[in-house]
A and B are shown apart, each in its own frame.
Chain A
Amino acid sequence: MAEEYFIQGNEACAKGAIVAGCRFFAGYPITPSTEIAETLAHDLPKVGGSFVQMEDEIASMGAIIGASWGGTKSMTATSGPGLSLMQENIGYAFLTETPLVIVDVQRGSPSTAQPTMGAQGDMMQARWGSHGDYEPIALSPASVEEFFYFTIKAFNLAEQYRVPVFIMADETMGHMREKMRIDEDRIEIVPRKRPELTDDYLPFKHVENGTTPMPAFGDGFNIHITGLTHDERGYPDTNDPETHSRLINRLCGKILNNRNEISSVFHQFCDDADTIIISYGSPIRAVIEAVLKIRKEGRKVGYIKIDTPWPFPEEQVIELTEGAKNVIVVEMNLKQMYWEVERILKEKTNVHFMGKIGGLLPAPDEIIYEVKKVEDK
Chain B
Amino acid sequence: MSEKTNRFLPYMRQDRLPHIFCPGCGNGAVMNAFLEAMEKAEMDFDNIAMVSGIGCSSRIPGYINCDSLHTTHGRALTFATGLKIANKDLDVVVFSGDGDAASIGGNHLIHAARRNLNITMICINNNIYGMTGGQVSPTSPKGIVATTAPYGNYDTPFKLAELVAGAGASYSARWTTVEMENLVLSIKTALKNPGFSFVEVVTLCPTYFGRKNNLKTPTAMAAVMKANTVFKSAAERMSEKELKDKIVVGEFANKQRDELSEVLEKFSIENSGGKTAVNSAYETEF
Contact = CB atoms under 8 A, between A and B. Distances in A.
Contact of A72 (B65, B111, B281): B281
A17 to B, nearest CB: 11
Interface in B67-91: 67-72, 75, 77-87, 89-90
Given A218-B67, A218-B87, A159 B269 contact: no
Interface stretch (A52-60, A140-148, A242-250, A323-331): A52-60
Interface in B248-286: 264, 267-269, 271-272, 275-286
Interface in B81-110: 81-87, 89-90, 107-108
Contact of B82 (A20, A44, A45, A64): A64
B24 interface: no
Nearest to B271: A45
Contact of B272 (A45, A68, A218, A225): A45
Contacts of B111: 54-55, 59
Contact of B85 (A24, A92, A222, A228): A24
Nearest to B279: A71
A54 B75 CA distance: 12
B40 interface: no
Nearest to A42: B271
Interface stretch (B30-38, B43-51, B179-187, B238-246): B43-51
> Could you say which interface size class chain A belongs to?
35 or more
Contacts of A194: 282
A221 B67 CA distance: 7
Interface in B205-253: none
A67 interface: yes
Contacts of B61: 224
A223 B281 contact: no
Contact of A225 (B70, B78, B82, B286): B70
B78 A54 contact: yes
A18 B82 CA distance: 18
Interface string A263-276: 00000000000000
A225 B50 CA distance: 10
B281 A216 contact: yes
A159 B283 CA distance: 12
A47 B83 contact: no
Contact of B51 (A24, A66, A221): A66
A52 B85 contact: yes
Contact of B268 (A18, A45, A55, A193): A45
A8 interface: no
B248 to A, nearest CB: 28
Contacts of B77: 62
A66 B269 contact: no
Contact of B62 (A45, A65, A235): A235
Contacts of B286: 18-21, 47, 189
Given A58-B78, A217-B87, A69 B277 contact: no
Contacts of B79: 62-63, 65-66, 69
B13 interface: yes
A330 B276 CA distance: 45
Contacts, number: 192
Nearest to A21: B286
B142 interface: no
B16 interface: yes
A267 B68 CA distance: 47
A88 interface: yes
Contacts of B277: 23-24, 47-50, 72
Interface string A87-98: 011001000000
B46 A220 contact: yes
B178 interface: no
A358 interface: no
B283 A21 contact: yes
B141 to A, nearest CB: 28
A226 interface: yes
Contacts of A254: none
Of the listed residues A47, A65, A218, the one surrounded by the most CB atoms of chain B closer than 10 A to its CB is A218
A217 B61 CA distance: 14
Nearest to B69: A225
B272 A48 contact: yes
B168 to A, nearest CB: 13
A49 B82 CA distance: 12
Interface centre among A46, A67, A191, A217 (most CB of B within 10 A): A217
A67 B85 contact: yes
B144 interface: no
A62 B87 contact: no
B78 A59 contact: yes
A222 B86 contact: no
Given A48-B272, A52-B85, A63-B78, A68 B67 contact: no
10 contacts: A23-B280, A26-B82, A64-B82, A66-B78, A66-B79, A69-B67, A89-B71, A193-B282, A216-B281, A227-B71
Interface of A: 18-21, 23-24, 26, 44-50, 52, 54-56, 58-74, 88-89, 92, 99, 159, 189, 191-194, 216-218, 220-228, 235-236
Sort A-B residue pairs by CB-CB distance and give the 9 closest, nearest first. A70-B86, A62-B78, A66-B82, A48-B275, A23-B277, A63-B82, A67-B82, A66-B79, A66-B83
Given A71-B279, A72-B86, A235-B16, 12 more contacts: A45-B268, A49-B280, A50-B85, A52-B81, A56-B107, A63-B85, A66-B80, A68-B82, A71-B282, A192-B281, A192-B282, A226-B70
